[in-house]
Structure 1
Amino acid sequence: MTGPARTWLVTGSSAGLGRALVTELLARGETVAATARDPRTLADLRPPSAQALWTARLDVTDPEQIRQVVDDAARALGRIDVVISNAGYALVGAAEEASGEQVDRQLRTNLTGPIHLAQAVLPHLRAQGGGRIIQISSMAGQRGSPGTAVYCATKWGVEGFFESLAAEVKSFGIGVTIVEPGTVSTGFFGRSKELTAESPAYAGTPAAILRRRAQDGRLPCRGDLARMAAAVVDVATGPTVPLRLALGSDAYAAIRRGLTARLADLEEQREIAFSTDLNAGDGSTPSTPHRGPEGNDDAHHRPGARQSR
């Protein structure tokens, strides 16, 4: 996807990775539609030209507003080449402590919001013959941890949706990448977090320890926002896109540990898994890869598999 300047739509542009992405894009001469719940937070962005930046108010928990903003941006700027779905926040605390309202709001923001955004932008991308969708997930989308259960639920959900979506839209020339950042100084445990009501029952547990460290700002953050933003833009503008992109040494280590442990558990259960087949006990074993309803094997699930466009 190299060539002339592109038009990008970025949600959650007021701070953190979203703002770093908009800053990086403007510095490269790209045209950006930047959205935030409060567009006044975008007033100090300095594009190189008056035409380079388009801003709008967007609450990703409102499906109708999502569709309207996407349509308005496409109309105002002519097209949308890349969508970066970045809006989100972290709910920190034990799962039992989270109120129903907190759970619902976390799901609407981090999971159903990105789904509605993808649905709104896909007709535009299909009509123009291709494009890119970049979904910001987290290392928490590959490995659960105490104190972030609801947050992890949204990220695991996002990963499943966009992995499936990638296979659905590949034939339209649309590439999908799931970005999995590690910790950054103004991200997960910065201003974009919410705490559950503390319960004495969880005092001293791993969830409570994480909660206290997040509350006091005592968790180390390894990621550099500017470098992460540059890496995302580089990948999004490359000739091919990876299905997943890990950012940060902590993300790499956490995801690797999680995948290694899950694979080890799976291998230990191989005999049990085979014993539940219809033909169990007749001496036969599966010898072909899993084939989906399309008749294709899961090639896009292989580590390192890449998509065109």
Structure 2
Amino acid sequence: MAVRTWFITGVSSGLGRLMAEQLFERGERVAGTARNPDSLAGLRAAHGDRFWLAPLDVTDTPAVRRVVDQAFAHFGRIDVVVNNAGYGLVGAAEELTDEQIVRQLNTNVIGSIQVVRAALPHLRAQRGGRIMQLSSMGGQWAMPGLSLYHASKWAVEGFFESTMLDVAPFGIQVTIVEPGSARTDFAARSAELSPALDAYADTPAGAVRRLIEPGFRSQPGDPAKMARAMIDSADRNPAPKRLALGSDAYANIRQALTERLAELDAQKDIATATDFED
């Protein structure tokens, strides 16, 4: 099999870093971005010219375009673009600050969109490639206390489900990745908590906050296995439209879709009654 080149945002920790490490074990090449590239000095020294690294904050759109262009220029071709950078914002809607709302959407939604917009001209020119967009089981299922995080994931699911139709004629395939809870550093590093309001202390949103605040470590998902499944999915043709990872992702998404379908079916008569008679 030919050596592939991957572009991965948020490569300094979590799934991004695990993917990079496993890709190097397979002999592949990685163009990675991180807000703090210094944390990757050891990985960079170990893999030399197979690891191209650049600092990037995905909320900086001009920087996104510059870095993506540089990555394609450096390697000549990138086979898989992985939109991994993002974080979770915890808090009931009323508890969130205006600044937190903007930052969550700019990072998880606008950042993901702009990375792919920057990559698409290159992917079209090379007549194909893969895009993997990190969503979450929270892109199809919701729990209390995560309204903006869910909003960001539902938004990217809609954007990329449409985009995969736009780019299919160019040989570009898209997979939306929906991990469940995994034992990464989500609670310690990648989650931001809103200011707390006493009114929500004894509500479901308050219970979720108490679960996340200490950095819970009882999640069922093995992040190394999730990273491996993402890499393996790049060998499937056609690419899976969605990739659910983790037993909780499967169970929660299935329950949400089943309930949604039942609610829709119950409204069939109402829906069809609103058409013109002719």
- Deviation string 1:254-275 (CA, Å, 9 cap, x unpaired) is 1001101111110111111011
Decide whether the 8 Å contact of 2:183 with 2:217 is kept in 1. Answer: no
Determine the C-alpha separation between the residues in 2 that align with 1:30 and 1:198.
45
- Deviation string 1:235-270 (CA, Å, 9 cap, x unpaired) is 013232111000000000010011011111101111
Q: Which residue of the partner structure matches residue 143 of structure 1?
A: 141
Q: Which residue of the partner structure matches residue 153 of structure 1?
A: 151
Structure 1 unaligned regions, length at least 5:
283-309
Q: Which residue of the partner structure matches residue 254 of structure 1?
A: 252
Q: Which residue of the partner structure matches residue 94 of structure 2?
A: 96
Matched, 1:5 2:38: no
Kindly provide the amino acid, as one letter, of the partner of residue 103 in structure 1. Answer: I
Kindly provide the amino acid, as one letter, of the partner of residue 89 in structure 1. Answer: Y
2:213 is paired with a residue of what secondary structure? helix
1:183 is paired with a residue of what secondary structure? coil
Matched, 1:67 2:68: no
- Deviation string 1:33-65 (CA, Å, 9 cap, x unpaired) is 011011111112167642210000010001110
Q: Which residue of the partner structure matches residue 290 of structure 1?
A: none
Kindly provide the amino acid, as one letter, of the partner of residue 191 in structure 1. Answer: R
Matched, 1:178 2:152: no
Higher mean C-alpha displacement, 41-50 vs 123-132: 41-50
Determine the C-alpha separation between the residues in 2 that align with 1:50 and 1:68.
22
Match of 1:214 among 203, 208, 212: 212
Matched, 1:194 2:195: no
When the two structures are superposed, what TM-score results if normalisation uses the length of structure 1? 0.88
Give the 3 Å change call, closer, same or farther, for CA 251–187 of structure 1 in structure 2. Answer: farther
2:131 is paired with a residue of what secondary structure? strand
Kindly provide the amino acid, as one letter, of the partner of residue 83 in structure 1. Answer: V
| Structure 1 segment 47-126 matched on structure 2, within 5 A | 49-126=47-124
Shift of 1:93: 1.1
Give the 3 Å change call, closer, same or farther, for CA 10–249 of structure 1 in structure 2. Answer: same
Runs of 4+ in 1 over 4 A off after TM superposition: 46-49
Match of 1:16 among 11, 14, 17: 14
Structure 2 unaligned regions, length at least 5:
none
For the pair shown, the structure with the greater C-alpha radius of gyration is: 1
Determine the C-alpha separation between the residues in 2 that align with 1:249 and 1:218.
18
Alignment size in residue pairs: 278
Determine the C-alpha separation between the residues in 1 that align with 2:175 and 2:226.
14
Matched, 1:263 2:261: yes
**Aligned CA-pair RMSD:** 1.3
Determine the C-alpha separation between the residues in 2 that align with 1:148 and 1:166.
27
Determine the C-alpha separation between the residues in 2 that align with 1:148 and 1:102.
12
1:240 is paired with a residue of what secondary structure? coil
Kindly provide the amino acid, as one letter, of the partner of residue 51 in structure 1. Answer: D
When the two structures are superposed, what TM-score results if normalisation uses the length of structure 2? 0.97
Kindly provide the amino acid, as one letter, of the partner of residue 15 in structure 1. Answer: S
Higher mean C-alpha displacement, 137-146 vs 185-194: 185-194
Determine the C-alpha separation between the residues in 1 that align with 2:126 and 2:276.
47
Shift of 1:147: 0.6
Decide whether the 8 Å contact of 1:95 with 1:147 is kept in 2. Answer: yes
